[in-house]
Structure formats: C-alpha cells, structure tokens
Structure 1
Amino acid sequence: MKILLLEDDLILNEIIQEHLMEMNNSVTSVFTGDEAQDIIYSKTFDLMLLDVNVPNINGFELLEDLRKNGIKTPAIFLTSAHLLEDIEKGFKSGCDDYIKKPFELKELDLRIENIKRLHNISSSNSIEISNKIYLNKDTLTINKDAKTIHIAQKESEVLEYLIKNRNKSVSIEELSINVWAYEEAPIASTIRTYIKNLRKILGEDSIINIRGVGYRFNS
C-alpha cells in the first residue's frame, strides 16, 4: 500500500513509518498540515494516517478540504483528541476510522486491514478483477484466459480506482481528481477512450456506462 503519514512527533513518526515499511508498505511521512496538503494534491495514496494537532493546518481542516475537493482516499485519524465532540468532528470531516493515542501498533494493523477490506485495497501488486482475471500494477498487464495483455499506466490506474469502488457510480470528474491527483487534468474524451479500451479487454458488461452520471465497475 501507498500510505501518507502525517505526524508531527518525530519519534512517533519514525516508529510508525518503520513499522509500516516492515509490513511492506510504501510510506511518505510529513510533519505539518500544509506539507500533507501539498503532497496529497500531487500524488495518489491508498490510505492517509493523519494526526490532528499539527502545525499550520490541523488534521480536521485538512481532511475536510480534501473531501470538499473530491479526494476520497481512505483516512484514519491518529490523535490524542479524546473527547466525544472531537471524535464527532473527525467523522464529520470525512474520516473512515479514529484511533485514540496512545495505541498499540497491532491495533493500527487491525484498523488498516479493515480499511483494506472495506475499500477493496490489495496489498500485492496483483489485483483480482474477476474470476481468473488479474491486473498487475507493476507490469501494467491484465492476465486473462492465459493471455497477457499490456495496458497504459493511466488505464491501469483508472481500472484500479473503479475496482476499489466496485458497484458504485464514479463520475469522470471523480476519476480525474483521484487518478490524476492534480496533474494536468485530462479532457473527458481521454478518460472515455481509456474506458473503451478496458471494456474491449474485459467485456462490455465489465464497466457500465450510466448516462449522465459516469461509470460503474460491475463485479
């Protein structure tokens, strides 16, 4: 998994980062809210771990801003803010889970595993698309019927996002925001071309076109 860690305590940041990397995750750690904001708008992540009381932009404000701008990356707050109103504020800002400090690293592992299950996030670079059909994110290939089919980087990322949001409607704007992550946004016809190519490989019924709404991966 690609994880963004926002934690301003130097020692705790290092402990969490080392632990997550030992679990074969790729971790980008930052110490301030504005650092986190800049990097989230320039790169894509599978999960965000956010402290609340950090310099410049606190975690609640950061996540609320991200959600308003269409960033749907799952987020877990790691915080010493224990009051019920803090927890309520955290969930209202758009978090998926809330862990009170101090916590055991095993608890963090369990919460992350639950997020992976809920959001269809794979730990490996091979994602099951359907029965005996797999996407390999490293080699940019789809393995189907004993054949290996090469696809473009962005086709892979579009397909991965649709799989993570399987059976949900995803608009072109949402794909643009979450896959391109504030790179130069593609025109709508470019995304439609990627979808068309993927449907040729996976079958017309694999990705449903919902008129006026967007697309839905049909598991």
Structure 2
Amino acid sequence: MKIFLLEDDFSLNRLICNALEQRGFFVTSVDDGYDAMTNILNNKYDLYILDINVPGFSGHEVLEQIRKSHEKLPVIIVSAQLDIDNISKAYDLGCNDYLKKPFELEELILHVKYHIKSILKSDVDKDVIELGSGFSFNLKEQSLYKHNHEIILTQKEKLLLTLLINNLDKTVSSEMIHEYVWDSKEMEAVSMRSMVHKLQKKLKSGMIVNIRGIGYRLISAKVEL
C-alpha cells in the first residue's frame, strides 16, 4: 500500500516513515505544501497523512485538492492545532480522522490500519489475503507465499500485486498501473509488459489475465478461470 506523508518536522517525518515502512507500507514523504501539491496532482496513493501548519500550501489546502480528485481515499490529519475551528475545518473539507500531537506512533499505525481496512474490505489484522491455489499475500510484510514458502518479489511487483488485489476481479488499466507503480514517471511500454509477465510466472497460470488493449485483471479463487 502507498502512503503519502506531509510533515515538516524532520524528526517526526523520519519516525513516521520508518514505522510505516517497517510494516510493509511504501511511503512518499515531503515537508512542505508545494511539494505535496506536486505529488498529489501527479501520483496516486492509498492513504494520506497531513500536517496542517507547513510551509507553502497548508494541510487544509492540500486536503481540499485531494478531495477534488479522490472523494473516498482516507486522509488522516496529524496536528498540534487543537482548537475546534481547525478541527471543524479539517472535517468540513473531508478528512477521515484527526490525530492530535503528540501521539504514540503505534496509535497512528492503528488509525492507518483501520482506514486501510475500509479500502480492502478485508480484516487487515489478519494481514493475509488468500489468493487461492495455495497462494497468499501478506499485507503487513508485503510478501507473497505459496504453501507458506515465500516467493521473492521486486518492489514494483509488490506494488503491482497490491494494486491488483485492491481491484480483485476488476480490470486495472495500463494508465492506473503506470500511475501507481511508476508514479507516472516516463517509461517504455515494454517495461510494464515485462514486469507483468514476471509476476504472472510467479503465480498460477491464468491468475493474472491480459485484457487486450485495456490492462490486466487478478482473478480470485471464487471466479472460474
């Protein structure tokens, strides 16, 4: 899962990043509102963590921009602003959660897991998504297993598999893959085909199907292949 973090306190930024990455999340972090705007306009994330008082655009303004494109993706505000006006404004703009500083890192992790659960429509406390045919994907570790034996994945393969799992039995367009896995950076079409092919070889034949001219689909165990 990809998480975006806006936090201008360098030490806290690093602590949050490390805590999330140790739990298998992929984190993009910035320390000012200008970089935040550039990132959210050009890339897609699964969850956003925003401070309010940061250089450049405020967390409120960044939240407002996120909601213009993504109405339902979770946004957690982390702020030392405890007055009701700031809290009320954050919720009016569409935040899902407001965590007051200082907080324990484990408390933030619990909030993140709660909102990720709503995305996956799955119990992330189990950490494991069963894919059928002996395959499973551990969300916490971002690890693929077949009958409890780990299958090594590259970072981009992990991101692709996460994206496909989030859209199980639905077609994921090549544009979505480009945005999510490559952060919309320039790439050759052959790179995507090559990576998908390598991931297909690590799963059971037919689990990832090519929807010609559109993209790819991960078939769940409940769907006839």
- TM-score interval, normalised by the smaller of the two chains: 0.5 to 0.7
Q: Tell me the distance in 2 between the aligned counterparts of 1:18 and 1:135.
A: 26
Q: Tell me the distance in 2 between the aligned counterparts of 1:141 and 1:104.
A: 29
1:160-216, Cα deviation, whole Å (9 max, x unpaired):
3212333443211011011101432332x5424433443344234422445665333
> Which position in structure 1 is the counterpart of 2:15?
18
Q: CA deviation at 1:87?
A: 1.4
What's the C-alpha RMSD, in Å, of the aligned pairs?
4.6
Unpaired segments of 5 or more residues in structure 2? 221-225
1:216 matches 2:221: no
- Helix, strand or coil for the counterpart of 1:178? helix
1:89-113, Cα deviation, whole Å (9 max, x unpaired):
2x2xxx5x22153574365333112
Contact 2:60-2:90 at 8 Å conserved across structures: no
Q: Which runs of 4+ in 1 moved over 6 A?
A: 39-46, 67-70
> Which position in structure 1 is the counterpart of 2:203?
202
> Which position in structure 2 is the counterpart of 1:180?
182
Q: Tell me the distance in 1 between the aligned counterparts of 2:102 and 2:44.
A: 27
1:6 matches 2:6: yes
Q: Tell me the distance in 2 between the aligned counterparts of 1:212 and 1:167.
A: 17
TM-score computed with the length of structure 2 as normaliser: 0.62
* Change in CA separation of 1:169 and 1:61 when aligned onto 2, cut-off 3 Å: farther
- Helix, strand or coil for the counterpart of 2:179? helix
> Which position in structure 1 is the counterpart of 2:62?
62
1:155 matches 2:154: no
> Which position in structure 2 is the counterpart of 1:50?
50
Contact 1:170-1:215 at 8 Å conserved across structures: yes
1:139-174, Cα deviation, whole Å (9 max, x unpaired):
x98543577655655334322321233344321101
Q: Tell me the distance in 2 between the aligned counterparts of 1:20 and 1:191.
A: 28
* Change in CA separation of 1:55 and 1:43 when aligned onto 2, cut-off 3 Å: same
Q: Tell me the distance in 1 between the aligned counterparts of 2:14 and 2:154.
A: 31
Q: CA deviation at 1:7?
A: 2.7
Contact 1:40-1:181 at 8 Å conserved across structures: no
Contact 1:5-1:50 at 8 Å conserved across structures: yes
Q: CA deviation at 1:88?
A: 2.9
Contact 2:43-2:179 at 8 Å conserved across structures: no
Contact 1:171-1:215 at 8 Å conserved across structures: yes
Q: Tell me the distance in 2 between the aligned counterparts of 1:208 and 1:44.
A: 23
TM-score computed with the length of structure 1 as normaliser: 0.63
> Which position in structure 2 is the counterpart of 1:82?
87
Q: CA deviation at 1:49?
A: 1.1
Q: Tell me the distance in 1 between the aligned counterparts of 2:206 and 2:63.
A: 35
* Change in CA separation of 1:128 and 1:21 when aligned onto 2, cut-off 3 Å: same
* Paired AA for residue 194 in structure 1: M
